[in-house]
Structure 1
């Protein structure tokens, strides 16, 4: 359909049911989403007049269990959240993919040049190029497209803006050129390929899976080509808590070397024990050879391996606690995970910037405001970025105000889990 027809559908309420299905919002919340979509379509019509238009979304994600376990083919518990990226776009058969994201430079990728470029590492262009390359490698013929993107997933926030972007581009191209044949899992794998090979970041698969699949999922990456997924029903409201993501005020966008060091050091321990990934190592063998492993890999690598073994085992226990309604047990394990991340994984601050410890300060502030209730821990990759807190409903207003009074307006965001990750909204 053209943009004017899509606008008529939106303004007339024809897409309200679809919005409610994706965002689990009604009333004013649904209307706010609709208005945001209307603004996007109108923007697309101005930027690319005459093209057909479809609407797409990809969710941000929150990591609920398993901190830095995915890249070692371990287990994670993750959920898609109510912040997302949306795109409006259509095919133009130009041989070029154009992406205009509000607040960012235009991305232009020619489909006859899909080799990785070192000069593009760390850029949005690399992700578009990588996703397009993965689709052509699978035998799909891309013909060029124009997309406009709006996002309320803050960059460098620990909510996986890069993974959401990869999934958004994948969902759009999958719809425009692949007849929606690729599954959510395949789109996640494509996103990881783009991030690893083209963006230059050695990420695991958790971020992309959570952004793509939706809801809360327990994922086992023992075979990353065919990860095992189990959905976990979670009702935070029924448990009397809200999920808060707190911006510590320090950007984690330029910390690739710190993240790579975790991957490399865990890999070194695995190699020392005859494996490629720590998930393949028997923890008993690790402990029985601790002296040898420590001598060959160093103390920090050993401690990071300890974190992996503990946090990886904790994931299944957290999933079971949520599924069985044992929310207090889940909160206790969130706290334990946070302690392990701080003491063993050591991802609260970058050793290259020891004076910058915004994450640690944010955790201390949240603990003070919680007064022994709820739970708080580092969120996502760490070193900067965000902190995650589960806050009792009766404390939520004061907690949010207390965080914002110190860290600035909107530093604390109360989010919800949404059941849909990457999706076509209309078109």
Structure 2
């Protein structure tokens, strides 16, 4: 997604398309997960941050039940559906995400009725930066205000999760929408996925002279695919055999005993989740005491665990991580659900140019298509723009 219109431009485009001004313009950011992968649906801990790439929606409520959706990217054209007949089978492409939100709100007893919506976004699709949740969070923020629904952020998190799980068909947890709805500039979000409790942890990369670089491998992934679902099923199987509600309840000291009760593959999946939870807790302590430059080894260990135990990396991600480290990044790991997408490399500002060059050269040497590399910073969560 490359278009980027400001609020005034998007409102003007809306009026030209729909023949009337929108009721407002709202935005919600994508996210980078600093550490804590596949721990969210295991009721564990994650440490994401909202990024300065967003989905923006101009919205106007209608007096009838017609829903009209259009985006500034792609060639899908105008989608028109009736609010009373929303179903998973009728949604196509990006429209699954706003329609899923409206469906989930209907399941809560909130019938919004018709609306017109124009979407613009610069969160890359399929890059593991949660472009879909950015759309959903922008939409639910807009609808919550326009319909005077009175939902708090926790309720919006659960509604968008239901949209993902039961409408889109992606068995995701609550991390992505929590970061998009509850993020804050200059901070990472320490989230307990069991209680939804959060703590904002300072992440001042600028003061530490660090640049968080995202390396988009251009290997597209989908949470609705089989790999993600099979990993979640493995975790649920492991928890069931170990007799716990979720893998959150298994600690590092329990792993030796677990190895004797689980098949080798399930044990590796469990070991990743258990050790990843510990890495999140350690990362919070390190950030609060030593600062961001000291978390590099935790990022490296996280990537190794995802590559070897959870087996969700891919050759392009491994090349990106290794090239970034070799060129001076203090730590690097894949970020997101895996099977493609992006890596994050925490890079000294003085080494940014050489890290970018080294990754590009490594991709060329391996015969891979050039990656897109860009910096991000922790940004504010969903909000009204106009």
Normalising by structure 2, we get a TM-score of: 0.90
2:129 to 135, 159, 179: 159
Q: Is the 8 A contact 1:123 1:199 kept in 2?
A: no
Mean CA deviation greater in 150-159 or 322-331 = 322-331
Residues in 2 aligned to 1:53 and 1:222: alpha-carbon distance in whole angstroms: 36
2:332 to 353, 376, 386: 376
2:114 to 120, 123, 144: 144
The question of 1:89 aligning with 2:59 is answered yes
Give the match for residue 389 of structure 1.
345
The 3-state SS of whatever aligns with 2:173 is coil
Give the match for residue 359 of structure 2.
403
- Which string of whole-angstrom CA distances, capped at 9 and with x for unpartnered residues, describes residues 192-250 of structure 1? 11000000010111011111111221001124xxx111111111011110011101121
Q: Is the 8 A contact 2:11 2:22 kept in 1?
A: no
The question of 1:344 aligning with 2:344 is answered no
Give the match for residue 50 of structure 1.
20
Q: Is the 8 A contact 1:175 1:424 kept in 2?
A: no
The CA RMSD measured in Å over matched residues stands at 2.2
- Which string of whole-angstrom CA distances, capped at 9 and with x for unpartnered residues, describes residues 49-91 of structure 1? 1244311001000001111100101000010001111111211
Q: Is the 8 A contact 2:49 2:179 kept in 1?
A: yes
The 3-state SS of whatever aligns with 1:232 is strand
Q: Is the 8 A contact 1:184 1:422 kept in 2?
A: no
The question of 1:74 aligning with 2:39 is answered no
Residues in 2 aligned to 1:338 and 1:169: alpha-carbon distance in whole angstroms: 33
Give the match for residue 102 of structure 1.
72
In structure 1, runs of 5+ residues without a counterpart are 1-31, 350-356
Q: Against the structure 1 CA distance between its residues 110 and 235, is the aligned structure 2 distance closer, same or farther, given a 3 Å change threshold?
A: same
User: How much does 1:363 deviate?
Assistant: 1.9
Residues in 1 aligned to 2:177 and 2:63: alpha-carbon distance in whole angstroms: 28
The question of 1:331 aligning with 2:302 is answered no
Residues in 2 aligned to 1:378 and 1:410: alpha-carbon distance in whole angstroms: 14
Q: What pairs up with 1:113-262 in 2 under 5 angstroms?
A: 113-114=85-86, 116-118=87-89, 120=91, 123-178=93-148, 181-215=150-184, 216-223=188-195, 227-253=196-222, 256-262=225-231
User: How much does 1:184 deviate?
Assistant: 2.3
The 3-state SS of whatever aligns with 1:156 is coil
Point out 4+ residue stretches in structure 1 off by more than 6 angstroms: 407-410
Mean CA deviation greater in 373-382 or 195-204 = 373-382
- Which string of whole-angstrom CA distances, capped at 9 and with x for unpartnered residues, describes residues 173-196 of structure 1? 1121125x2222222211111000
The 3-state SS of whatever aligns with 1:318 is helix
Q: What pairs up with 1:272-421 in 2 under 5 angstroms?
A: 272-294=241-263, 299-349=264-314, 357-370=315-328, 373-404=329-360, 406=364, 411-418=372-379, 420-421=380-381
Residues in 1 aligned to 2:42 and 2:105: alpha-carbon distance in whole angstroms: 26
User: How much does 1:396 deviate?
Assistant: 1.1
Give the match for residue 27 of structure 1.
none
Aligned residues: 374
Give the match for residue 111 of structure 1.
83
Mean CA deviation greater in 147-156 or 86-95 = 86-95
Q: Is the 8 A contact 1:403 1:411 kept in 2?
A: no
The 3-state SS of whatever aligns with 1:292 is coil
Q: What pairs up with 1:28-43 in 2 under 5 angstroms?
A: 36-43=6-13
User: How much does 1:132 deviate?
Assistant: 1.3
Residues in 2 aligned to 1:140 and 1:118: alpha-carbon distance in whole angstroms: 21
Give the match for residue 352 of structure 1.
none
Q: Against the structure 1 CA distance between its residues 270 and 391, is the aligned structure 2 distance closer, same or farther, given a 3 Å change threshold?
A: same
Residues in 2 aligned to 1:222 and 1:255: alpha-carbon distance in whole angstroms: 23
Residues in 1 aligned to 2:182 and 2:309: alpha-carbon distance in whole angstroms: 30
Q: Is the 8 A contact 1:265 1:304 kept in 2?
A: yes
Residues in 1 aligned to 2:163 and 2:245: alpha-carbon distance in whole angstroms: 22
Residues in 1 aligned to 2:306 and 2:210: alpha-carbon distance in whole angstroms: 23
